[in-house]
Amino acid sequence: MAFRNRADPEQEDRVQRYDPEKVETRWQAYWEERGLFRTDADPGRRKFYCLEMFPYPSGRIHMGHVRNYAIGDVIARYKRMKGFNVLHPMGWDAFGLPAENAAIEHGVHPARWTEDNIGYMRGQLKRMGFSYDWTREVATCEPRYYRWNQWFFLKMYERGLAYRKDSLVNWCPSCATVLANEQVIEGRCWRCDSPVTRKELKQWFLKITDYAEELLRGCDELSEGWPEHVIAMQRNWIGRSEGVEMDFPVADGDERITIFTTRPDTLWGATFLCLAPMHPLADSLTGDREGLEFLKSRYGVMEEKHGLFTGRYAVNPVNGERIPIYIANFVLMEYGTGAIMSVPAHDQRDFEFAQKYGLPVRVVIVPGEGGGEGPLQRAYEDEGVLVSSGRFSGMRSREAIEEIGRYLEEEGLGRRVVNYRLRDWGISRQRYWGTPIPIIYCERCGVVPVPEEDLPVLLPEDVSLEGKGSSPLLASRSFVETRCPECGGGARRETDTMDTFVDSSWYFLAYCFRGDIEIGSAVRNPASELRHWMPVDQYIGGVEHAVLHLLYSRFFTRVLRDIGLVETSEPFRNLLTQGMVCKETLRCPEHGWLFPDEAVDGRCSRCGKEVESGRVEKMSKSKKNIVDPEFLIRKYGADTSRLFTLFAAPPEKDLEWSEQGIEGAHRFLNRLWTVVTRDAGMLRSVEAEKGLPEGGKGMRLFRKTHQTVKKVTTDIERRFQFNTAIASMMELFNEISAFDPGEAPAVYKFSLRNLLLMLSPFSPHIAEELWETMGERPSVLEHPWPEWDEEAAREDEVELVIQVNGKVRAKTTVPAGLDDREIEEIALREPKVTGFISGGEVRKVIVVKGRLVNIVLG
């Protein structure tokens, strides 16, 4: 016990208490002064682009951010120690509605509000000690950023990928604004909860559907680096389906109605046609204006199907049958051709419609052998055998779909086509705080794009925001009134702004530049930094963006590839989707949801009523089940907060917040602190062990250290299992703290040294501090990641498990590396085993090297 004496009060005094605040701010200043996280392209080293989804500057960071960025920081720091040249940037998704709401509610200008929030949150992120290259920071609301939104828009316009059309949009009557699809939650506005209606508006669209097939095929390429479920969601969203399009002539007229179906095998069962209310022929086929208006108002309303008989008939081209034409609210204009053939016997929706309007149901598919007698209770939608279908009767559905498709093409009645669920991306927003769409409307010249050299079209600052709803830019005369770039005459600017998803579809490119974002000069420029850094090697963010943001970014990257900006088609080679941060909800019968500190000993702090604890749910302000990261930093420090969020669950799973859990993480760092500072003098005076020690306890600790390096490294490398990596570091530390340093000081130092190196990506500040305390030269994170020696990690004795008929009957320690026969002999001689064997005959012995023997009796 040469170096430790817990009871010695003098020594206690000399050991400084662990003060996270002091340690952390000290090292943050150190890193910043030295610009340690500043990265430049270096052709001599392998690059690694590590990116986390940038935050919306809502005011302060929340636990979701902490988790996301803690994961990213471990990866960035780890890769750096592994010798990669790591690009690890951060920025702000700074346009968006909350800024505008703040302006309406508190009279602060969105720019000011956003700027203040960014300032505050940047401070918070710095306080967490994340290793960002802040010199590459971008905010999407800066003109130097959004000018490229406009530039991309113009490039797409040139290529016919940006176009304007009338469309039905989601409209919130209470907020008097358009809502994006993702802002409609179960038919209601996400902000004010009022029912969303539809409204026809002229809007700008980006033609993502041109890339539907490519985006779908690209999914195969991603299967190595992306979570399976995210790829599934992307495929699902694109929703490819094969079918046929065919024309039904209108009886007593010249019109033809083109329908789309995936089930041509049911063609003989079509008993009526249905058009979407907005179908171009709907107007002319019915005289009932009122009825049509009613259907339009019910469009997209799921509760009930409504229809209107036009009084006209269509002719089924395969059998010449006259069938009635209906207009129906459930037929979508956006999918297929906006018209369907209705086969009530084999489609549940058509079945319900037919029941309501007394339309005939004709069975043309029967399941397998016979059966299917009597009136249907519901549609039979499965495949089967065709009946009453002319020369195709008796064929199986699968085959008939092929055959009929071919037949229709031969006869010129239809054609096989592929349809996608994916729609073009409507990007117009009737809002202020976004990128102005660079388009000018001239009475003489029509739609005129703003010339490239006039970019950016600046967002005017002098706009009054009163929440009226109509595009606020309309009210800015200086903005709206302009000159036509072509004829010089008076013209008006487009007053809608872009969806903020446009901003986030390419921000990862902006980080590739320091200072000016030089997108323009990067076109067809092989020396561009864009090409050096792209694609992102590791992307980390929440699953909530599994479709929209990720799909839009994949689309953008392909367009930019076609423009000659980047070579890659996929922006994100590897994707890690972290789980949500959850916490149990608390509710007072009188005061509703409670913040964690409003419940004292299970009672409401205001009324003393017993608190009901509800389900564990995602942390959210509305449920008040939140923990403020700033509070954690103050109480435990950034290192503990980071360590716990990484330890409590594997990254992709949901994390349940636990107050005691974080105490545990803090205890671990505290213990480590105490041990290193206590033994500092000794640690400074010895050299770390290099070779394999002779034997005894020193050798065991040395071996354990190598095993831990191996375990931690492989846990990080294969699927980022930080929780088990931390667990094994704790295990190592448990052995270190049980070890008497006097036995083998060099080994002791070796172990602590490696432990600090491995801990540094997780809890970097304390690692730096103790590294220095130990007499090592800072900075710890500029040291290479430790290597393990397979030889040193190998055990020379292993525990052999002996089973009889698959049940564990004995355990014994044997030297490592025995061959099968030797192991078998030891097992059969084992006294505890012989009793079990004596009853029967040994039929077979199975040996699993270095682990287990199973003796099978006959």
Partner RNA sequence: GCCGGAGUGGCGGAAUUGGCAGACGCAAGGGACUUAAAAUCCCUCGGGGCUCGUCUCCGUGCCGGUUCGAGUCCGGCCUCCGGCACCA
Q: Which of residues 548-607 bind RNA (CB under 7 A)?
A: none
Looking at residue 719, what DSSP letter applies?
T
Query: Of the candidates 84, 134, 163, 237, which one interacts with RNA according to CB under 7 A?
Result: 237
Query: CB of 574: closest distance to RNA in angstroms?
Result: 16
Minimum distance between the CB of residue 850 and RNA, rounded to whole angstroms? Answer: 7
Q: Which of 164, 191, 207, 421 binds RNA (CB under 7 A)?
A: 421
With CB under 7 A as the contact rule, the residue among 5, 16, 223, 262 that binds RNA is 262
* CB 467, min distance to RNA, A: 28
Closer CB to RNA, 202 or 851, in the complex: 851
Burial of 618 (0-12, 13-18, 19+ CB in 10 A): middle
Smallest gap from Cβ 544 to RNA, in A, equals 7
856 binds RNA (CB under 7 A): yes
Neighbours of 596 (CB within 10 A): 16
Contact residue for RNA among 176, 808, 816, 842 (CB under 7 A): 808
Number of residues that bind RNA (CB under 7 A): 85
Q: Taking contact as CB under 7 A, which single stretch among the options 144-152, 499-507, 568-576, 652-660 is the one that binds RNA?
A: 652-660
Q: Which stretch binds RNA (CB under 7 A): 368-376, 475-483, 647-655, 700-708?
A: 647-655
Out of 54, 272, 330, 508, name the contact with RNA by CB under 7 A.
330
Instruction: Pick one of 284, 521, 805, 834: the residue that binds RNA (CB under 7 A).
Output: 805
Q: How far is CA 757 from the centre of its chain?
A: 30
- Residue 69 one-letter amino acid: Y
- When asked if residue 192 is in the footprint of RNA (CB under 7 A), the reply is no
* DSSP state letters, 146-185: HHHHHHHHHHHHHTT-EEEEEEEEEEETTTTEEE-GGGEE
- Which of residues 319, 734, 740, 817 is near RNA by CB under 7 A? 734
Where does this chain touch RNA (CB under 7 A) — which range of 118-126, 488-496, 653-661, 776-784?
A: 653-661
The residues facing 426 across adjacent strands are 205
Considering only residues 108-147, where is the footprint of RNA by CB under 7 A?
none
In 3D, which of 793, 791, 846, 795 has the Cα closest to residue 824?
Answer: 846
3-state secondary structure 351-390: HHHHHHHCCCCCCCEECCCCCCCCCCCCCCCCCCEECCCH
Largest CA distance in the chain: 108
Given the rule CB under 7 A, which of 167-175, 247-255, 333-341, 776-784 is the region that contacts RNA?
333-341
Q: Shortest gap between Cβ of 330 and RNA (angstroms)?
A: 3
Q: Does 642 bind RNA (CB under 7 A)?
A: no
Which residue's CB is nearer to RNA, number 569 or number 721? 721
Under rule CB under 7 A, residue 196 binds RNA: no
Convert residues 763-802 into a mask of x (bound to RNA by CB under 7 A) and - (unbound): ------------------------------------x-x-
- Helix or strand run (H / E) with residue 581: strand 581-588
CB 433 to RNA: min, Å: 24
Find the shortest distance in angstroms from Cβ 582 to RNA: 9
Task: Answer for the pair 126, 28: CB distance below 8 angstroms, yes or no.
Answer: yes
Cα 626–chain centre separation: 21
Burial call 446-468: b when 16+ CB within 10 Å, e when fewer: eebbbeeeebbbebbeebebeee
User: Which residue of 358, 806, 839, 858 would you call a contact of RNA, by CB under 7 A?
Assistant: 806
Residues 137, 288, 654, 789: which binds RNA (CB under 7 A)? 654
Residue 825 CB, shortest distance to RNA, in Å, is 18
Nearer to RNA, 104 or 232 (CB): 232
What angle do the packed helices 659-678 and 722-737 form, to 10 degrees? 40
Residue 811 binds RNA (CB under 7 A):
yes
Residue 724 lies near RNA (rule: CB under 7 A): yes
Contacts 24+ apart (CB under 8 A), 840-847: 847/820, 847/823
Structure tokens given for 543: 């699953």
Backbone phi, then psi, for 36, in 5-degree steps? Answer: -65, -25
Nearer to RNA, 263 or 749 (CB): 263
Q: What is the full DSSP assignment across 747-796? A: HHHHHHHHHHHHHTTTSHHHHHHHHHHTTPPSPGGGSPPP---HHHH--S
Q: In whole angstroms, how close is the CB of 655 to RNA at the nearest point?
A: 7
Task: Out of 474, 523, 543, 826, name the contact with RNA by CB under 7 A.
Answer: 543
Q: Residue 97 — φ and ψ, nearest 5°?
A: -65, -40
CA dihedral over 233, 234, 235, 240, signed as positive or negative: positive
Q: Which of 525, 605, 723, 812 binds RNA (CB under 7 A)?
A: 723
Nearer Cβ to RNA (727/746): 727
Rounded to whole angstroms, the Cα distance separating 545 from 12 reads 51
* 769 CA to centre of own chain: 35
| Cβ 606 to RNA shortest distance, Å | 26
Q: Which is nearer to RNA, 116 or 584 (CB)?
A: 584
Q: Which of 82, 198, 532, 809 binds RNA (CB under 7 A)?
A: 809
Least distance (Å) between residue 572 CB and RNA: 18
Q: How far is the CB of 234 from RNA (least distance, A)?
A: 9
**Binding RNA by CB under 7 A: which of 14, 38, 229, 609?**
229
Structure tokens at 179: 């809502």
> What is the spatial distance between Cα 204 and Cα 153, in angstroms, rounded to a whole number?
10
β-pair partners for 275: 327, 339
When the beta carbons of 230 and 781 are compared against RNA, the nearer one is 230
The helix (H) or strand (E) run that includes residue 573 is none
Binding of residue 415 to RNA (CB under 7 A): no
Site for RNA in 655-674 (CB under 7 A): 655-656, 658, 660-661, 663-665, 667-668, 670-671
* Residue whose CB is less far from RNA, 361 or 547: 547
288/158 Cα distance (integer angstroms): 42
In this complex, which beta carbon is closest to RNA, that of residue 273 or of residue 756?
Answer: 273
Q: Give the one residue of 261, 430, 574, 760 binding RNA; rule: CB under 7 A.
A: 261
**Among residues 62, 127, 155, 263, the one that binds RNA under rule CB under 7 A:** 263
* CA–CA gap between residue 444 and residue 491 (Å, rounded): 9
Of the candidates 13, 302, 622, 839, which one interacts with RNA according to CB under 7 A?
302
Cα(first)–Cα(last) distance of the chain, in Å? 57
The residues near 624 (Cβ < 8 Å, ≥ 6 apart) are 585, 586, 593, 594, 595, 596, 598
User: Residues 441 to 460: which contact RNA by CB under 7 A?
Assistant: none
Q: What is the 3-state secondary structure (H, E, C) of 620-636?
A: CCCCCCCCCHHHHHHHC
Instruction: Kindly report each contact of residues 725-728 with a partner whose C-beta sits within 8 Å and lies 24 or more positions away, as own/partner.
Output: 725/758, 726/643, 726/646, 726/647, 726/762, 727/647
For RNA, which stretch binds (CB under 7 A), given 281-289, 396-404, 646-654, 778-786?
Answer: 646-654
67-106 residues in contact with RNA (CB under 7 A) are: none
Tell me if 347 contacts RNA by CB under 7 A: yes
The residue from 111, 219, 417, 547 that contacts RNA (CB under 7 A) is 547
User: Quick check: 503 binds RNA (CB under 7 A)?
Assistant: no
Bridge partners (DSSP) of residue 204 are 164
Site for RNA in 815-844 (CB under 7 A): 832, 844
Nearer to RNA, 521 or 805 (CB): 805
Pick between residue 239 and residue 520 the one whose CB is nearest to RNA: 239
The number of helices, as runs of H, and strands, as runs of E, in the chain is: 28, 35
